[in-house]
Structure 1
């Protein structure tokens, strides 16, 4: 049973009566029947005691009228859920001439205090108090002084009214806690959905960064084989080897990402670690083997101290820069420059001049640089990119490097 279910069990059924007021009488629950029967029996017991006292001093028509009015008042309590205000006023008036109805009157005041706001309860309670004063003079008790009778009436009315208002306050509190628990559960579900959506977006960006590099190699070398069918056998074999290796690497990367989706937070021995700054050299070597001219200029102060997340971002930025240079400036020399030290931050520059000849059309999504800009911003840094003055393309990023 959840917290909301427990609060719903604690919430008395009278609150449902308030919500359904004016919309028709709700069906009584088992708890309603128990409460109504208990109040009926208590009012009847008080009425019997009052009837025995009345029988000592009255007889004939007066005694019969007391008993009939008392019985009618007790039976009228079954209507207290539907007409609490009218019933309380009516029983207060009846109690003036029929003390036997006093128990039913107190029960109706209690029900009224449970269901109605203080202002309405206050003026009806004042009417009941006034009726109790009048009743002392209309039907006095020979064994008790009038002042004592008035005091007892006031005390009983105040007690049942205060008790009812206390029950009402408690029920309102439980209702508020129930609504708060329901809202908290809804907000928790919403936060979980947002977290899942953000995780999917992050995985999608990661998938793009990982696969774009591999698939670009496939596209470039497949295009070279298409446009140069008469190439020497060694060049064809080299291009075919690059295509095979790139396809294998792409499958490995895709398998790794799918493995993360299936079992987040778990990794097997066959899963490769995420790229870091230490694997940047392997990325450059791979690009050189694919026929690119790449110069890596790294002058970092204590590179081993670069945070893992920052190193991964540097790797992705360099990977995207090399991928774009291979697409749009084949044959041009690409320079990857790393500078920085703890406390000052780390800068990454990827630049290439304009290509010498025509550029083959290689389709792309255009989302790589946007994703890298978001990645750098989330890491606390910034990234800019655009055409260089010499007609080439330059990419510059700064990332924080704590001291």
Structure 2
């Protein structure tokens, strides 16, 4: 524990987790006294001196000889001066002063201050041992050097109550300081956990962005595969069609490269989401037009009066479902007509369906892992909706999703 960790605590108030100083630890650096430390030490010295003067006056009234009073005064002064070492040897000082106070009442104030210091800075076992010794020494002092103004019973009771009060007060101060330290550590731990949660949220957001871009990239690469396959299977196609297919391949390759660069940018720069806006239901017409330019037969049946009124998250999910459905139709049923149907309204939810008829003949196998449909299922579930896909009665294939749309 250092002062930089808990600046509001004094060096004497810090509970050193290393425990009391061992004989081999004499070279260990100790914090220097601050102005507040000097003020507290001075007040403790004056308090012990005041209690010693009261005890010395009582000794004079008891009829003790001048030599005994002089010895009491000298021992009391030495005991008060010894309090300046209480920060370095609190336990040893308390034990010595406890024994001395049994025969020298003027050192009782210094013994009480030393006991309080031990109760503040040491664990209960040490405090109990030192407190027990102080209690025995105080009772012996009351018996050996009784106060003539009070009875022996009253003196014993007052001594026991005083020692217990000082010990309890010191232990209370120690508990309060430990509570402050624990609360500070808990606050630090909470801040660390909050930072970890924020980093995890950023990581999940980056993964979501990467999945979004993966869908777009898969769409571009599918266009490349389809048009390259068309050129391969139809080498005798007219020159205009070859040129158009080559232009689509070039544009798709360029856009796929841009998407790939964005994915790499997201992975390299956490939290960098890029400047490209995410597609929504408003851009569904552009998706259909792009598919038609690629040679697909696509029919769009949208029964949404105002696509802009659809919530952005819902519209984005619907767009991804339609995009994946068209990609699957282009892969596995080339030459067939695909139909995209969008319907619904606020309160009823949004329904998106993409279906295609069975391919007219044998279709070349296009590599695929099926991750697209799994991803769409996760998207729909996370949005609070449902997702279904499977073969239709006429041998075709359809994907259908229902998404919530709040009223």
Report TM bin, short chain. Answer: 0.7 to 0.9
What CA distance in whole angstroms lies between the structure 2 residues aligned with 1:106 and 1:134? 15
Q: Are 2:111 and 1:105 aligned?
A: yes
Aligned pair partner of 1:21 in 19, 26, 39: 19
What CA distance in whole angstroms lies between the structure 1 residues aligned with 2:354 and 2:115? 83
Give the stretch that moved more between structures: 350-359 or 73-82: 73-82
- Unmatched tracts of structure 1, length 5 or more: none
What CA distance in whole angstroms lies between the structure 2 residues aligned with 1:238 and 1:110? 94
- Unmatched tracts of structure 2, length 5 or more: none
Shift of 1:118: 6.4
What CA distance in whole angstroms lies between the structure 2 residues aligned with 1:152 and 1:32? 36
Does the C-alpha gap of structure 1 residues 44 and 298 become closer, same or farther in structure 2, counting only changes over 3 Å? closer
Give the stretch that moved more between structures: 247-256 or 201-210: 247-256
Aligned pair partner of 2:6 in 5, 8, 23: 8
Q: Which secondary structure does the structure 2 equivalent of 1:334 belong to?
A: strand
Shift of 1:179: 1.3
Does the C-alpha gap of structure 1 residues 327 and 131 become closer, same or farther in structure 2, counting only changes over 3 Å? same
Shift of 1:397: 0.7
Q: Is the CA contact (8 Å cut-off) linking 1:373 and 1:382 kept in structure 2?
A: yes
Give the stretch that moved more between structures: 226-235 or 356-365: 356-365
What CA distance in whole angstroms lies between the structure 2 residues aligned with 1:204 and 1:362? 23
What CA distance in whole angstroms lies between the structure 1 residues aligned with 2:270 and 2:199? 18
Runs of 4+ aligned residues of structure 1 deviating over 6 Å after TM superposition are: 4-7, 255-267
Q: Is the CA contact (8 Å cut-off) linking 2:41 and 2:84 kept in structure 1?
A: no
Aligned length, in residue pairs: 395
Aligned pair partner of 1:225 in 210, 231, 242: 231
Q: Is the CA contact (8 Å cut-off) linking 1:80 and 1:87 kept in structure 2?
A: no
- Matches of residues 2-401 of structure 1 in structure 2 within 5 Å? 8-13=6-11, 17-21=15-19, 24=22, 27-31=29-33, 34=37, 38=42, 41-42=45-46, 45=49, 49=53, 53=57, 57-60=64-67, 63-64=70-71, 67=74, 71=78, 75=82, 78=85, 84=91, 88-116=94-122, 121=127, 125=131, 128-129=134-135, 131-141=137-147, 144-146=149-151, 153=159, 156-157=162-163, 160-251=166-257, 253=259, 273-300=277-304, 303=307, 305-364=309-368, 366-401=370-405
- After superposition, the C-alpha distances for 1:109-143 in whole angstroms (9 at most, x for unaligned) are 1112213566875785465345334313312356x
Q: Is the CA contact (8 Å cut-off) linking 1:44 and 1:74 kept in structure 2?
A: no
What CA distance in whole angstroms lies between the structure 2 residues aligned with 1:371 and 1:15? 58
- After superposition, the C-alpha distances for 1:316-338 in whole angstroms (9 at most, x for unaligned) are 11001111111122112212122
Shift of 1:32: 8.4
Q: Is the CA contact (8 Å cut-off) linking 1:336 and 1:348 kept in structure 2?
A: yes
Shift of 1:68: 5.3
What CA distance in whole angstroms lies between the structure 2 residues aligned with 1:15 and 1:21? 13
- After superposition, the C-alpha distances for 1:249-268 in whole angstroms (9 at most, x for unaligned) are 4455567778889797998x
Q: Is the CA contact (8 Å cut-off) linking 2:79 and 2:97 kept in structure 1?
A: no
Shift of 1:187: 1.1
Shift of 1:374: 1.8
Structure 1 vs Structure 2 CA RMSD: 4.0
Shift of 1:44: 7.1
What CA distance in whole angstroms lies between the structure 2 residues aligned with 1:390 and 1:22? 86
Does the C-alpha gap of structure 1 residues 331 and 14 become closer, same or farther in structure 2, counting only changes over 3 Å? farther
Q: Which secondary structure does the structure 2 equivalent of 1:181 belong to?
A: helix
What CA distance in whole angstroms lies between the structure 2 residues aligned with 1:126 and 1:331? 98
**TM score, norm. by length of structure 2:** 0.80
Shift of 1:357: 3.1
- After superposition, the C-alpha distances for 1:151-183 in whole angstroms (9 at most, x for unaligned) are 764565355334423421320221122111111
What CA distance in whole angstroms lies between the structure 2 residues aligned with 1:23 and 1:89? 16
Shift of 1:145: 3.7
What CA distance in whole angstroms lies between the structure 2 residues aligned with 1:188 and 1:63? 66
What CA distance in whole angstroms lies between the structure 2 residues aligned with 1:31 and 1:121? 24
